Amino acid sequence: MELKQKGENTSIDISRPLTVTMTWTTAADFDLAAAYETKAGQQGLVYFGDQGNLDKFPYITLSEDKGVGDKAGDNVEVMHIYNLDEMNYVWLFCWDYGMVKVGHAARFKDSDITLTLADDNNNRVSVALDTGESGNVCCMATVDNSVTHHAKLINYSQVGTLQGLKTLEQLINIVQKLII
């Protein structure tokens, strides 16, 4: 299944471990990251600087950083999510590292970024970036587990522009633009 347009969503089974894969061949240093909010209101971030932990909270981990130095080719970053029971939201971000550092627009429009979420039975959902906006960071998708037993994956495609990434709140502010 593919969520091609902003706002499209589908139910997902969070009782199984999930794998999030971001692929691209564009000559850009894109990074996969997850910001999260627990049912108790705690927020955190898993990204190349803090790759998380599968054996203890937040039960999310990120693979190695790819595309460093704007390398083209078969770039893949993988995130494993083991347990979402205590999470309200997990926001899946992509940013253009070089452009975030200098505050310029990313190369999203000319890229071939694909985000795919799969469970251990190989049930897959892909999310297409659906935005004409310019920015250097994008919340591509959200796992919404705020309603008990009704988790869903949403194509968010919300773009923002950062001048350096200094705080988690910068990313949360991008997400808050869509929360009513």
Distance CA 140, CA 49 (A): 20
Burial of 22 (0-12, 13-18, 19+ CB in 10 A): buried
- pLDDT given at position 45: 93
Is the pLDDT higher at 105 or at 143? Answer: 143
Q: What is the CATH number of the domain that holds 166?
A: 2.60.60.30
**pTM of the entire structure?**
0.89
Q: For residue range 45-72, list pLDDT tens digits in order.
A: 999 888 999 899 999 999 877 666 677 7
Question: 56-68: string of b/e by CB count within 10 Å (b at 16+)?
Answer: eebbbbbbebbbe
Task: For residues 134-140, give the mean pLDDT.
Answer: 87
Cα-based angle 167, 172, 176 (whole degrees, multiple of 5)? 150
Distance CA 147, CA 156 (A): 18
- pLDDT given at position 11: 92
**Residue 180: band (very low, low, confident or very high) from pLDDT cuts 50, 70, 90:** very low
Count how many domains the chain has: 1
Q: Which domain holds residue 37?
A: 2-176
Write out the E strands in the chain: 2-3, 9-11, 18-24, 30-38, 43-46, 52-53, 60-62, 75-81, 87-96, 114-119, 124-127, 137-144, 152-160
Mean pLDDT of the chain: 87
Task: Inform me whether the pLDDT recorded for 101 exceeds 90.
Answer: no
Q: What percentage of the chain reaches a pLDDT higher than 70?
A: 94
**Residue 125: band (very low, low, confident or very high) from pLDDT cuts 50, 70, 90:** very high
